[in-house]
Amino acid sequence: MAISLLPLPYADSALDPTISATTLQTHHGKHHKAYVDKTNAAIDGSDLADKSLEEIVAAAEAKGDKGLFNNSAQVWNHGFYWHSLAPETSAPAGELAAAIDASFGSLDALKQELATQGAAHFASGWVWLVAKDGKLSVEQTHDAATFSSVSGNPLLVIDLWEHAYYVDYKNLRPDYLKGVIEKHLNWDFAAENLGRGTVWAYPA
């Protein structure tokens, strides 16, 4: 079964002005779609053709197939990223709020850690909020590296590739991070991932 392009869970103007409709249309409709198309072309007629996206990513990584890994992992990362954002943010509550306080001291401290690591990350990649070893941590991955490269359960991710922000912010990645972190992180999605205790599955 071919991998599908996951639709945005909101209108392409829903994150404006932090992330413009133009950026979302290009990022989702061109970048994400290209990763989907290249993944489907690579698995067509192979023993991976009927596998889940997670199985494809894992198989590509195990085989050292960098082309398939880069494209399939980017499909997963982008699907997870779209859900990590929301038109309006709300404060974490319950188990998630308690875990944030226990691991970082406060929500503000977590936000600062995401902003600091995201701004300091060299070149393309991702900054993640991850549950592992009984606590939460902020982790970075480079290029297409995905949840399989992080020992834990990802709760949220922020895209650090230039195509995620360059149209709106040019080279000012910290300004993009500030807007996303303060206005658009989907803490409900993070709470669902924490409560589930297993890695989010890309919808078939």
| pLDDT tens, position by position, 99-150 | 999 999 999 999 999 999 999 999 999 999 999 999 999 999 999 999 877 8
Domain boundaries, the chain: 21-84, 94-196
Q: Supply angle C-alpha 31, 113, 162, rounded to 5.
A: 20
Q: Which CATH number is 21-84's, of 1.25.40.10, 3.40.50.880, 1.10.287.990, 1.10.3720.10? A: 1.10.287.990
H-state helical runs in the chain: 21-26, 33-43, 53-63, 66-84, 94-104, 107-120, 166-169, 173-183, 187-196
Tokens 């949840």 — which residue? Answer: 147
Exposed e or buried b per residue across 102-124, where buried means at least 16 C-beta atoms within 10 angstroms of its C-beta? ebbeeeeebbebbbebbbebeee
Domains 21-84 and 94-196 share a fold: no
Query: pTM of the prediction?
Result: 0.97
| pLDDT tens, position by position, 44-79 | 999 999 999 999 999 999 999 999 999 999 999 999
Q: Which fold has domain 94-196?
A: minor pseudopilin epsh fold (3.55.40)
